[in-house]
Amino acid sequence: MPKYELRLSGSGGQGLILAGIMLGEAASIYDNKEATQSQSYGPEARGGASRSEVIISDKPIDFPKVRQADFMLSMTQESYDKYISGLREEGVLLTDSFFVTKVKPRTGPVYSMDLTKIAAEKAGKKIVANVVSLGAIVALTNVVSLEAMKKAVLDRAPSGTEEMNLKALEEGYNAALELKGKILQEMKK
């Protein structure tokens, strides 16, 4: 696999830094790939724009920061507006459709899913929207295996929340596969 650069962005408190750590651990610990993870967030504890960046590769990574993302997750309109310029034009964009309502036309694929609603309705709590997004990322990119992602999520899930977190991961994965299938069907018409 060539180097793949991902940017997970949203608002402080949405768990995207933790999601980036889990994604990097899935790649490096369980899929035996090279991975780096870095993060940036505003001075606010909650509510300010934040981002987590992950680079995954089969070869050693010579620079630990994302230069031009191949994939970007935006969980808020503010994070989309702030970081979209760092996504390659052909890169994959995933947004939380409830919070990101204004997306500019682009060459690369755009997937819009109500990640927070899936977390609340299918997994039981909005707080696992970050894990729902990880499931979607795995389905849309295949950058890590679903098995590796499950193990990484279980490693980080607080005691007593393992089942809810696995449910969130699987729901995100399945919803993204379904959406990807619908888009492919539309393209064939």
Per-residue pLDDT reduced to its tens digit, 108-129: 999 999 999 999 999 999 999 9
- pLDDT beyond 60 at 43: no
**What confidence score (pLDDT) does residue 103 get?**
97
Out of 5-9, 145-149, 178-182, which region has the weakest mean confidence (pLDDT)? 178-182
Give the ranges where the chain is alpha helix by DSSP (H): 16-25, 77-83, 115-118, 129-141, 146-156, 162-188
- pLDDT beyond 70 at 47: no
- pLDDT beyond 80 at 66: yes
Angle in degrees, CA 32, 61, 87, rounded to 5: 105
User: If DSSP codes are grouped into helix, strand and coil, which group holds residue 25?
Assistant: helix
Q: What is the mean pLDDT of the chain?
A: 93
Q: Are strands 69-74 and 4-11 parallel, antiparallel or unpaired?
A: parallel
Higher pLDDT, 45 or 161: 161
Q: What global pTM score does this model have? A: 0.94
What are the boundaries of each domain within the chain?
4-188
Burial class (CB within 10 angstroms; exposed 0-12, middle 13-18, buried 19+) of 104:
exposed
* Residue type, position 79, single letter: S
Burial 138-175 (b: 16+ CB within 10 A, else e): bbbbebbebebbbbbbeeebeeebeebbbbbbbbbbeb
Non-local (6+) Cβ contacts of 151 within 8 A are 26, 29, 30
Burial class (CB within 10 angstroms; exposed 0-12, middle 13-18, buried 19+) of 46:
exposed
Sorting pLDDT into bands at 50, 70 and 90, what band is 49? confident
- Cβ atoms within 10 Å, residue 48: 14
Q: For tokens 């609603």, what's the residue?
A: 117
Superfamily assignment of 4-188 in CATH?
Pyruvate-ferredoxin oxidoreductase, PFOR, domain III (3.40.920.10)
User: If DSSP codes are grouped into helix, strand and coil, which group holds residue 6?
Assistant: strand
**What confidence score (pLDDT) does residue 12 get?**
85
- Both tokens of 106, joined, read 């682009």
